[in-house]
Amino acid sequence: MRAKAHDGETAAVHEVEVEVSSWALSFRLGDEPQIWRFSEIEVEPLGDQVRLKRRGQGARLTVAADDWRAATAADAAPVARRHRRRERRLVVGLAAAAAAIMLFVFVGVPLASGPLARLTPPPLEARLGETYAAQLQFAFPTCAGEAGQDILHAFGDRLEDGMDSPFNILVEAVEAPMVNAFALPGGRVLITDDLIAEADTPDELAAVIAHEAAHVEQRHVMQAVWRSLGLGLILDAVVGGGTGAGQQAVLLAGSVTELRYSREAEAEADARGQEILHNLGFSSEGMAPFFRRLAGEDRRGERAAGVMEFLSTHPDSLRRAEASEARAQSGAVAFTPDEWRTIKAACEGEPRAPSAD
């Protein structure tokens, strides 16, 4: 194997012939025979060349990478084996690091989303909710009917009296092509006009609203946001920044309608929502029939798609209907007959234009 040798003491370069044995490299440097044991050789790849350095000395050999690979192809040289072991360890280390990052993103963040949600300062969550609400207003405009909105706002205020939450509950009806209700970070609860149309009784609508309010109180909304967006997007969406993450979070605001809660969170919101109604003296008997009717009816056409939207974000509806029925208690009706008629008619007019502020 041809190599260029440097003695480490002068600038002279010597062309030498190197022999590779099972334990050492041997060559002549001038008139002096050189034997470099593999245990004292360090290998440094340099693109199409390889530099071999004798540990503790300035002497070095430079050989063509192809010649080095050919000379050590049979794993005859321990130094080559050590070099390959280092490469394998590096590859394994990089793979392990990548796996750790993926594990954190796909397992660590979801597992930590609960504690992170509870540690999120309420003002930060409220500001994030305002960002979402401003964007959603263009996709889901608030329904016409000031009287209906006033009734829903008043019901949100009453729910707060039965809750332990740092947020004000603001209930609004919106125009949207789906049967759904969803809570935003910070306490805003949006009820679609199609859901209002699906609700047969005031108790059913009150139960759905209380369920969403319970998600807010239990910080399930923020937990789902943490799991979906992560710290960078949340902070950038709230405080701004030059990374573009804030803009991405704004674009993702519409996806709040698709936030998925765990089965445990849904069951907890069911139970807590009914408890809130009990605390206020309202009937909690509307939750079970509403879930059961949507899950059990055979619907077709556009309305079927809307119902499936609700079921996709509120899974296990039949099982939850049974559990809700077992907990249900009678009580006062949440809305008077006049209020109920006003709510049902709230979204029959043209949608109100988004506010300029």
Local structure of residue 48 (DSSP, 8 states): T
Domain boundary among 77, 107, 133: 77
Q: Let me know whether 20 and 154 are in one domain.
A: no
pLDDT of residue 276: 96
pLDDT of residue 208: 95
- Is 106 within the bounds of a domain? no
Q: Is the pLDDT of residue 245 over 50?
A: no
Q: Is 284 helix (H, G, I), strand (E, B) or coil?
A: coil
- C-alpha span between 136 and 174 (Å, rounded): 10
- C-alpha span between 29 and 17 (Å, rounded): 9
Q: Please, what's the largest Cα pairwise distance for the chain?
A: 112
- Is 9 within the bounds of a domain? yes
- Is 58 within the bounds of a domain? yes
| From 93-107, 179-193, 257-271, the region with the lowest mean pLDDT | 93-107
Question: What letter represents residue 301's amino acid?
Answer: G
- Is 311 within the bounds of a domain? yes
Domain boundary among 20, 51, 77: 77
pLDDT of residue 264: 83
- Which whole number is the average pLDDT over 126-135? 83
Q: Let me know whether 63 and 126 are in one domain.
A: no
Q: Is the pLDDT of residue 277 over 90?
A: yes
Q: Is the pLDDT of residue 202 over 90?
A: yes
Q: Is the pLDDT of residue 105 over 60?
A: no
290-340 confidence digits (pLDDT tens): 888 877 653 433 344 444 444 444 556 778 888 889 999 999 999 999 999
Per cent of the chain over pLDDT 90 is: 25
Q: Let me know whether 158 and 254 are in one domain.
A: yes
- C-alpha span between 200 and 329 (Å, rounded): 18
pLDDT of residue 226: 76
Per cent of the chain over pLDDT 70 is: 69
Q: Let me know whether 225 and 310 are in one domain.
A: yes
- Is 95 within the bounds of a domain? no
- b/e burial code for range 229-249 (CB count within 10 A of at least 16 → b): bbeebbbbbbeeeeeebbeeb
Q: Let me know whether 20 and 163 are in one domain.
A: no
Q: Let me know whether 39 and 183 are in one domain.
A: no
pLDDT of residue 48: 86
Sequence-separated (6 or more) residues with CB below 8 Å from residue 254: 135, 136, 139
pLDDT of residue 308: 42
Nearest to 237 by CA among 118, 127, 119: 127
Q: Is the pLDDT of residue 234 over 50?
A: no
Do 277 and 207 meet the contact criterion of CB atoms below 8 Å apart? yes
Task: Give residue 308's domain range.
Answer: 122-344
- Is 158 within the bounds of a domain? yes
CA distances to 17, 24, 69, 84 from 72, in Å: 15, 12, 5, 11
pLDDT of residue 5: 82
Question: What's the first-to-final CA gap in the chain, in angstroms?
Answer: 78
Q: Is the pLDDT of residue 191 over 70?
A: yes
Q: Let me know whether 73 and 135 are in one domain.
A: no
Q: Tokens 């608030």 appear where? A: 142
CA distances to 45, 88, 104, 135, 165 from 225, in Å: 47, 39, 16, 16, 18
Do 177 and 306 meet the contact criterion of CB atoms below 8 Å apart? yes
pLDDT of residue 201: 95
Q: Is the pLDDT of residue 213 over 80?
A: yes
Q: Let me know whether 57 and 160 are in one domain.
A: no
Q: How many domains does the chain have?
A: 2
Q: What is the pLDDT of the chain when averaged over all its residues?
A: 75
Look at 80 and 168; give whichever has higher pLDDT: 168
- Is 355 within the bounds of a domain? no
Domain boundary among 43, 77, 111: 77
Residue-level length of the chain? 357
What's the pLDDT band for 280 if we cut at 50, 70, 90?
very high
Most confident of the ranges 49-63, 144-158, 239-253: 144-158
Question: What letter represents residue 182's amino acid?
Answer: F
Q: Let me know whether 138 and 32 are in one domain.
A: no
332-355 confidence digits (pLDDT tens): 999 999 999 999 988 875 444 444
Q: Let me know whether 37 and 154 are in one domain.
A: no
Q: Let me know whether 280 and 158 are in one domain.
A: yes
**If 0-12 CB within 10 Å is exposed, 13-18 middle and 19+ buried, where does residue 307 land?**
buried
Q: Report pTM.
A: 0.60
- Is 284 within the bounds of a domain? yes
Q: Let me know whether 129 and 206 are in one domain.
A: yes
| From 50-59, 81-90, 185-194, 294-303, the region with the lowest mean pLDDT | 294-303
What's the pLDDT band for 104 if we cut at 50, 70, 90?
very low
- C-alpha span between 19 and 28 (Å, rounded): 10
